[in-house]
């Protein structure tokens, strides 16, 4: 008390500032940094969740890079990213751009697009899983069968399983992207468009020269967010292929599902941690690269 009493008002303010700041800081350290560093340490250990952890050096990493499944999964993860991000951004921009001009039932249409985003991914994944089933229960294949077209192996194909899973994932994310795009479009001052109209510029040029450049911050935000989303894809794959986790011959398995299986069905926690560290590194590199490329010059 004496010590505190001897402080000046300025010093007391500092003490109080740090006292309040300490709460979120400690909380953040405990729930963010401690587990993160623990996971990094675990990636150099062997642990089956039951016994003691033992140090194994870089064994987990050498095993990982020699594992053909890992490379298959790594490739899948990037296919999800490289197909998912551009397709979803293109579709959502086209919808947002046109929806922005629609006055008729604007709110209702926007709500309809946003609806899938609010739906639980698990429920949605199971619904699509049912759509994709072969005859006699699958919706798509039953429709094909009634018009006499042979059924299509959606999920039970090494070629088509991944796109089949990606489709609902893209669809579910559209609502969010459309809303963000529309907010971005609304933020562009009308004066630019008025000036363009006075100068007699066509709508195509307006789009390329005014709308898109001014939407850049929005696009950067959505690219980063959707990339991270597709790199971490899990729920859709897990729920649509739970009979054969990761699809036929690992054709749909993303990295996160491999991590989950290694950790919670093989109980090889160290190996799973090593995969997590790799995923973290990839996410970091991809995000930083995107921010660098799309920064304001």
Closest CB to other proteins among residues 69, 225: 69
- Report how many helices (DSSP H) and strands (DSSP E) the chain contains, helices first: 16, 2
* Residue 66: alpha-carbon gap to chain centroid: 27
Dihedral (CA of 82, 83, 88, 90) sign: positive
Taking the complex as a whole, how short is the minimal distance between the CB of residue 278 and other proteins, in angstroms?
A: 19
Strand partners, 293: none
Cα–Cα distance for residue pair 13/214, rounded to 1 Å: 43
Sequence length of the chain is 297
- Token readout for 249 is 């011959």
* Least Cβ distance, residue 69 to other proteins (angstroms): 10
Cα(77)–Cα(96) distance, rounded to whole angstroms? 27
Residues that bind other proteins (CB under 8 A): 48-52, 129-130, 133-137, 141, 145, 148-151, 155-158, 243-245, 248-249, 261, 264-267
> What's the start-to-end Cα distance of the chain, in Å?
54
Please report which residue ranges of the chain form alpha helices under DSSP H: 2-5, 9-28, 34-42, 59-66, 68-99, 106-118, 121-132, 139-146, 161-187, 190-198, 203-206, 212-214, 216-231, 235-240, 255-264, 269-293
What is the smallest separation between the CB atom of 117 and other proteins, expressed in angstroms?
26
If the CB atoms of residues 161 and 182 are measured against other proteins, the closer one turns out to be 161
- The two tokens of residue 107 are 């709110």
Residue nearer to other proteins on the CB measure, 52 or 198: 52
| Residues 174 and 89 sit within 8 Å (Cβ to Cβ) | no
Shortest Å distance, C-beta 146 to other proteins:
9
Q: Which residue, chain included where needed, has tokens 């510029």? A: 201
Shortest distance, CB of residue 261 to other proteins, whole angstroms? 7
Rounded to an integer, what distance in angstroms lies between the CA atom of residue 132 and that of residue 112? 23
Report the nearest approach of other proteins to the CB of residue 182 (Å): 38
Our CB check for other proteins shows the closer of 63 and 180 to be: 63
Smaller CB distance to other proteins: residue 190 or 243? Answer: 243
Strand blocks (E) in 102-245: none
**Shortest Å, Cβ 131 to other proteins:** 12
Q: How far is the CB of 250 from other proteins (least distance, A)?
A: 8
Q: Considering the complex, state which of residue 48 and residue 120 has its C-beta at the smaller distance from other proteins.
A: 48
CB of 47 or CB of 181, closer to other proteins: 47
Q: Which is nearer to other proteins, 181 or 271 (CB)?
A: 271
């Amino acid at each position: 008390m004496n010590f505190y009493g001897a402080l000046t008002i300025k010093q007391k303010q500092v003490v109080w500032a740090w006292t309040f700041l300490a709460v979120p800081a400690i909380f953040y350290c405990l729930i963010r940094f401690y587990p993160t560093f623990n996971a990094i340490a675990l990636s150099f250990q062997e642990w089956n969740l039951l016994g003691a952890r033992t140090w194994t050096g870089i064994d987990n990493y050498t095993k990982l890079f020699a594992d053909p499944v890992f490379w298959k999964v790594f490739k899948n993860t990037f296919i999800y990213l490289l197909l998912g991000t551009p397709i979803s951004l293109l579709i959502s921009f086209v919808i947002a751009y046109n929806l922005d001009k629609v006055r008729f039932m604007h709110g209702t249409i926007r709500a309809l697009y946003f609806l899938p985003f609010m739906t639980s991914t698990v429920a949605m994944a199971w619904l699509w899983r049912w759509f994709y089933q072969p005859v006699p229960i699958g919706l798509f294949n039953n429709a094909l069968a009634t018009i006499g077209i042979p059924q299509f192996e959606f999920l039970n194909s090494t070629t088509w399983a991944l796109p089949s899973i990606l489709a609902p994932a893209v669809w579910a994310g559209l609502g969010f992207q459309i809303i963000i795009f529309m907010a971005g479009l609304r933020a562009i001052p009308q004066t630019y468009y008025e000036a363009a109209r006075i100068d007699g510029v066509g709508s195509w040029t307006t789009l390329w020269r005014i709308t898109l450049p001014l939407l850049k911050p929005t696009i950067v935000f959505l690219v980063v967010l959707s990339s991270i989303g597709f790199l971490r894809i899990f729920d859709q794959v897990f729920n649509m292929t739970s009979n054969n986790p990761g699809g036929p011959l690992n054709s749909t398995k993303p990295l996160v599902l491999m991590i989950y299986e290694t950790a919670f069905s093989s109980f090889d926690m160290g190996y799973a941690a090593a995969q997590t560290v790799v995923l973290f590194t990839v996410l970091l590199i991809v995000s930083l690269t995107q921010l660098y490329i799309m920064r304001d010059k």
